[in-house]
Structure 1
Amino acid sequence: MSIYETAQQLAQQIKESDEYRDFIVAKELMKADEGHYKMIRDFQMKQFEIQQAQLFQLDISQGKQQELERLYSLLSLNPAAREYLEAEFRISRMINDVQKIIGEAIIDVLPLGFEDNDQPQILA
């Protein structure tokens, strides 16, 4: 079996997983309600902004962090939104686990200088 066939099988298994199916159902429920959809998107955009700031080692205002926490608290009170966030977390965790397994298996193909977890520094 070729590596591409194996990758196709993995993709199919992911699509058949409970994590994937649960996420698709939760996502469709969110898309069906414009108010919930907007709240989720707003939360995700704020979360992304904070993650980007962290990635580039920028200061994150306490106000932005509190706003994200406030939005998360509001979403957690809504059963459909909470289910969506939980399903999103589960599918993301599964995909990250698969990526980690593959990454560890191919560590030898990293470019020179990266084998020792010696990551380049981001210059700000």
Structure 2
Amino acid sequence: MNPYDHAHALARAIREWEPYQRAKRAKEAIDRDEPTKQMVRDFYRRQYQLEAKRIRGEEPTQEEFETFRKLSEIVQLNQDARAYLQADLELQRLLMDIQLIVGEPMNDIRLWSLDDFMEEVGRES
């Protein structure tokens, strides 16, 4: 079986996996509730904005942290939003693990690893 066949089989397996089914049901529930959907979108938007600041080397303000913390608490009170975020996090972990596993063969043929690059960049700074 070629890698593409395995990739399609993996996609089917993920769709059949219970955490995926939970995420799908949670998304369907949120899709029927516009205020919850907007709240979850706002949660992700603010989360990504904070992370983007960190990546750029900027320190988020106390007010931004506090706003995000309050929003997180509100989101956790909404059963559908909480279920969706938990299922989404579980699927993100799965995809990161799969990426590591699938990427292992590439390490055998790379001339320069990411670790090598980061070490060299660190020496130049």
Cross-structure match for 2:66: 66
RMSD: 1.9
Which residue type is aligned with residue 38 of structure 2? K
Cross-structure match for 2:78: 78
Return the offset for 1:117.
5.8
In structure 1, what is the Cα distance between the partners aligned to 2:76 and 2:17? 25
Cross-structure match for 1:32: 32
In structure 1, what is the Cα distance between the partners aligned to 2:106 and 2:82? 36
Q: Which runs of 5+ in 1 are unaligned?
A: none
Matched residue count:
121
After superposition, give the CA deviation of every residue in 1:2-22 in whole Å (9 maximum; x if it has no partner): 111111111111111111111
In structure 2, what is the Cα distance between the partners aligned to 1:102 and 1:46? 31
Higher helix proportion (structure 1 or 2): 2
Which residue type is aligned with residue 31 of structure 1? D
3-state SS, counterpart of residue 116 of structure 1: helix
After superposition, give the CA deviation of every residue in 1:39-72 in whole Å (9 maximum; x if it has no partner): 1111110001011111222121111111111101
Which residue type is aligned with residue 66 of structure 1? E
Return the offset for 1:112.
2.9
TM-score (ref. length: structure 2): 0.86
Which residue type is aligned with residue 87 of structure 2? A
TM-score (ref. length: structure 1): 0.86
In structure 1, what is the Cα distance between the partners aligned to 2:100 and 2:19? 18
Cross-structure match for 1:116: 116
In structure 1, what is the Cα distance between the partners aligned to 2:71 and 2:111? 41
Report % sequence identity. 29
Which residue type is aligned with residue 97 of structure 2? D
